[in-house]
Amino acid sequence: MRRFTSTILAGAVALSALATVAYAENPKVGGAAMFEDKNIVENAVNSKDHTTLVAAVKAAGLVETLQGKGPFTVFAPTNEAFDALPKGTVDELVKPENKEKLTKILTCHVIAADATSDVVMKMVKDDGGSHKAKTVGGCELTLKDEGGKVTVTDENGNTANVTIADVKQSNGVIHVIDKVLLPKM
């Protein structure tokens, strides 16, 4: 009986270690653990680096969408990226009368696919160095490989660097970026 109990205990410890390893693979974002079994919104609300993005998603009424089945690839600008916009831009965008414009900007950060950095790099390579991707908002992003890291260029020529890649979610993947991507308006 003692041997059986020890075997069960050892098995439980091994499973616990495997579960920890599975979660440890997902990078932390904004000081918070990101869990593969949670959706994009459930994880993003815990990142101290994405409070502006979360507030904007709420103001645009996109919470339910980003909690949906997906799959979604979200290029998630940090608070610093939003702070780099001209003074007052974010305050203006979150006003109810600007909901349509805010929605367009935010959905131009989302691709209807589960595109990890490996998938993006393969598309870039297969397309000869850059890959055009249509967003949920109807914008076109240009994805490139810059020294083994993904860059994303919007329709205006602004380039964002992926600073944290492959944050896996239950409904897709998040790539943290250092700039806000803007559609042509």
Q: pLDDT (tens digit, 9 = 90+) per residue, 4-26?
A: 444 344 444 444 444 444 444 88
d(CA 72, CA 89): 26
- At residue 146, φ and ψ (nearest 5 deg) are -115, 95
Average pLDDT over residues 86-109: 94
Ordered by start, the domain boundaries in the chain are: 29-177
DSSP 127-166: TTSEEEEE-TTS-EEEEEEETTEEEEE-TTS-EEEEEEEE
d(CA 33, CA 168): 11
Average pLDDT over residues 79-91: 95
Confidence at 2, pLDDT banded by 50, 70, 90: low
Decide: helix, strand or coil at residue 72: strand
Domain 29-177 sits in CATH at 2.30.180.10
pLDDT score of 25: 80
d(CA 149, CA 34): 21
pLDDT at residue 172 above 90? yes
The percent of residues above 90 in pLDDT, for the chain, comes to: 82
**Tokens read off for 137:** 């908002």
* CA distances to 15, 57, 79, 99, 139 from 92, in Å: 50, 14, 16, 10, 21
pLDDT score of 15: 40
**Tokens read off for 82:** 């939003």
- At residue 169, φ and ψ (nearest 5 deg) are -125, 170
Average pLDDT over residues 145-173: 95
